Amino acid sequence: MVNLIVPPRPAPDSDGCVLSVTPQSAGWDYVGFEVYQLAQGQTLRRETGEHEACLVLLSGKADVATNAESWSGIGERMSVFEKKPPYAVYVPSGDRYAVTALTELEVAVCMAPGKGGRGARLIAPEQVVIEQRGSGSMERLVQHILPESEPADSLLVVEVFTPGGNWSSYPPHKHDQDNLPEESLLEETYYYHTNPSSGFAIQRVYTDDRSLDETLAVRDGETVLVPRGYHPVAAPPGYDVYYLNVMAGPNRTWKIRNDPEHEWLAPPQTGPRNR
């Protein structure tokens, strides 16, 4: 079985890559995910090939160019914990991109199969939908970067801030069955930061039959793979937790099933909203 925690490299490689998840390394079919830490003036260049990409500027400022478009001086937050909505760039398959760091830069590259024919576009902070979700110890801040209401072929991208002492992705839910309209099959990665960085998060990944049942202590800069099953998250007191989710599957829609044992915790709603 694939290890569900992917740690960062001790130092960036020559391209600035500190973390890489491919469908081959994860043992699945759709989601690819990379994180780069670029020094000021350093440029990352890639071709998208058969995959679409969403470049999320986690912290720092950059110039970004594709085959037909370019954007200068994008990026506002110097830390994800400023909680400002991020800048992101959607790049279709069959395109290329260049990211030049104007400051120290952390950028996430979210990837999934593309169909081509779309144009590259900027996703500005004012286009990111902000939502306060849950109440009490289940309250968290959700920022929808590339939701299913916005055009893409496969990717869904969202970030979540969970205050210390709170839970998120809760009540536990899953999306591992291609059984629409009740449930969609979506692979998923969780990329973590904690504040302070010496902290950790707790994530459980488990299935109904417990053939998969892992409880993980996740540190700053690590990624968790969710190939199937329920996957709630807890932020220990004293440590705020950030994660960036990347999801993709055969159908680009988020339809979830709550764990029946914990369904009573879900508030009355018109649709699944428990990220």
Instruction: List residues bridging with 19 in a β-sheet.
Output: 35
Query: pLDDT band at 51, cuts 50/70/90?
Result: very high
In a domain, 72, yes or no: yes
| CA distances (Å), origin 12, targets 17, 36, 68 | 5, 7, 29
Residue 204 has pLDDT above 70, yes or no: yes
In a domain, 159, yes or no: yes
The structure tokens listed for 31 are 């989601």
The tens digit of pLDDT for each residue in 188-198 reads 999 999 999 99
- The domain containing residue 151 runs over which residues? 5-264
143, 158 Cβ separation under 8 angstroms: yes
User: What is the model's pLDDT at position 272?
Assistant: 43
In a domain, 269, yes or no: no
Q: What is the mean pLDDT of residues 32-59?
A: 98
| CA distances (Å), origin 65, targets 46, 76, 105, 129, 189 | 11, 18, 16, 24, 26
Mean of the per-residue pLDDT values for the chain?
Answer: 95
Burial 6-23 (b: 16+ CB within 10 A, else e): bebeeebeeebbbbbbeb
User: What is the model's pLDDT at position 271?
Assistant: 43
Number of domains in the chain: 1
Residue 103 has pLDDT above 80, yes or no: yes
In a domain, 272, yes or no: no
User: What is the model's pLDDT at position 195?
Assistant: 98
In a domain, 270, yes or no: no
Query: pLDDT band at 266, cuts 50/70/90?
Result: confident
In a domain, 17, yes or no: yes
Query: pLDDT band at 160, cuts 50/70/90?
Result: very high
Q: What is the mean pLDDT of residues 251-264?
A: 95
User: What is the model's pLDDT at position 186?
Assistant: 98
Q: Which amino acid is at 107?
A: V
The structure tokens listed for 182 are 């009740």
17, 106 Cβ separation under 8 angstroms: no
The pTM of this model reads 0.95
User: What is the model's pLDDT at position 16?
Assistant: 98
The structure tokens listed for 174 are 């899953």
DSSP 8-state code for residue 137? G
Regarding predicted confidence, which is higher, 56 or 1? 56
Whole-angstrom distance, CA of residue 154 vs CA of residue 6: 23
Query: pLDDT band at 270, cuts 50/70/90?
Result: very low
Residue with tokens 């959700």: 142
User: What is the model's pLDDT at position 116?
Assistant: 84
Residue 269 has pLDDT above 70, yes or no: no
41 phi, psi to nearest 5 deg: 90, -10
Q: What percent of the chain has pLDDT over 90?
A: 94
User: What is the model's pLDDT at position 275?
Assistant: 59
204, 214 Cβ separation under 8 angstroms: yes
Whole-angstrom distance, CA of residue 167 vs CA of residue 18: 28
In a domain, 44, yes or no: yes
Q: What is the mean pLDDT of residues 77-94?
A: 97
- DSSP assignment of 53-114 equals EEEEEEES-EEEEESS-EEEEE---SSGGG-PPPPEEEE-TT-EEEEEESSSEEEEEEEEE-
Closest C-alpha to 201, from 244, 233, 163, 237: 233
Phi/psi-derived region of residue 271, left when phi > 0, alpha when psi is between -120 and 50, beta in every other case: beta
CATH code: domain of residue 202: 2.60.120.10
The tens digit of pLDDT for each residue in 107-157 reads 999 999 999 889 999 999 999 999 999 999 999 999 999 999 999 999 999
In a domain, 190, yes or no: yes
The structure tokens listed for 251 are 């159908």
Q: What is the mean pLDDT of residues 193-207?
A: 98
